[in-house]
């Protein structure tokens, strides 16, 4: 099956690229749980922000857990205190490709913490009907990505990521479920934030050649006081940079091919998302300032 990737193509010149992952991936949506009323469980903000076209995203939901009122986080208690996974007790979300499209999923990012330094975290998917834990996760320690054999739930937020292989290409639908085991008490809360699937949406029987000359380079990554965006595209482009919480920190216009420099000296250290949009579509890339 020949596909055209509906987002703009972006090339990231970065030592943070996941080995084996393709360039040209787009942020599909961000579950950041922000908004007025999020701290109230009766008005929980569980829909994703900025979902791409041609995919349908479910609300983030729970099964056999209890919502804990917390601003701008997906916080729940009632997790399993035993070391065995309870398959009826989880948080989840689903992505469904619209008719005529499918999804090549590249990676999944999320921020995780607990109210107490105790417990194990597990992620499973519908690809194998939730039969096995996903492995091969990494977390960001502030300098680089560190591989872990399994996820111990931290008591302060850490960002985790998982890269996927060929079995996550050509998907019509994918559901992810998040489980916790061996938590200290029934009142122990486990919190998720900034849950971000990365990938591309495919369309049948369309050539990819027309996007070959619309590549972008974003560097350095990680960076400090300056970010460079280089493009060969003749399209007028809009560049927006968001914090990990979804706050817009700068917006600039690029009207000609070549290199464009963004002053990031006033940015706090941390994770940001660079959104580049034009008439062909939109792509978002993760960037780290240190």
DSSP characters over 218-251: EE-SSBSSEEEEEE---S-EEEEEEETTS-EEEE
User: What's the Cα-to-Cα distance from 18 to each of 72, 139, 147, 258, rounded to whole Å?
Assistant: 28, 12, 11, 27
pLDDT value, residue 244: 62
pLDDT value, residue 237: 80
Q: The dihedral of CA 244, 250, 256, 261: what is its sign?
A: negative
Which two tokens mark 253? 């216009």
End-to-end CA distance of the chain: 41
Extract the residue ranges of the chain whose pLDDT is less than 70.
1-25, 35-39, 203-216, 244-246, 256-257, 280-282
Q: Say what the pTM is.
A: 0.65
Instruction: Count CA within 13 A, CB hemisphere, residue 155.
Output: 7
Structural domains of the chain, with CATH: 3-204 (2.60.120), 213-289 (2.60.40.3080)
Q: Which residues pair with 171 in a beta bridge?
A: 103
Q: Three-state DSSP class for 33? A: coil
pLDDT value, residue 97: 87
pLDDT value, residue 282: 66
């Amino acid at each position: 099956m020949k596909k055209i990737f509906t987002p703009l193509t972006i090339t990231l010149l970065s030592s943070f690229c996941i080995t084996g992952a393709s360039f040209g991936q787009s942020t599909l949506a961000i579950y950041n749980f922000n908004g007025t009323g999020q701290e109230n469980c009766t008005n929980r903000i569980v829909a994703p922000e900025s979902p791409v076209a041609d995919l349908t995203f479910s609300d983030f939901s729970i099964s056999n857990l209890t919502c804990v009122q917390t601003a701008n986080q997906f916080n729940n208690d009632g997790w399993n205190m035993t070391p065995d996974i309870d398959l009826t007790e989880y948080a989840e979300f689903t992505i469904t490709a619209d008719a005529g499209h499918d999804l090549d999923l590249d990676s999944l990012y999320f921020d995780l913490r607990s109210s107490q330094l105790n417990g194990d975290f597990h992620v499973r998917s519908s690809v194998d009907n939730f039969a096995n834990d996903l492995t091969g996760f990494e977390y960001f320690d502030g300098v680089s990505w560190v591989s872990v054999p399994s996820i111990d739930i931290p008591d302060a937020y850490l960002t985790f990521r998982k890269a996927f292989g060929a079995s996550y290409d050509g998907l019509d639908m994918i559901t992810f479920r998040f489980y916790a085991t061996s938590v200290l008490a029934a009142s122990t809360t486990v919190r998720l934030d900034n849950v971000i699937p990365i990938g591309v949406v495919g369309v049948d029987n369309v050539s990819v050649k027309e996007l070959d000359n619309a590549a972008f380079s974003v560097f350095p990554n990680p960076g400090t006081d300056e970010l460079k965006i280089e493009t060969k595209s003749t399209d007028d482009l809009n560049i927006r940079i968001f914090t990990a919480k979804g706050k817009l920190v700068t917006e600039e216009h690029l009207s000609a091919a070549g290199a464009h420099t963004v002053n990031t000296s006033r940015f706090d250290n941390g994770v940001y998302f660079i959104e580049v949009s034009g008439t062909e579509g939109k792509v978002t890339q993760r960037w780290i300032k240190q």
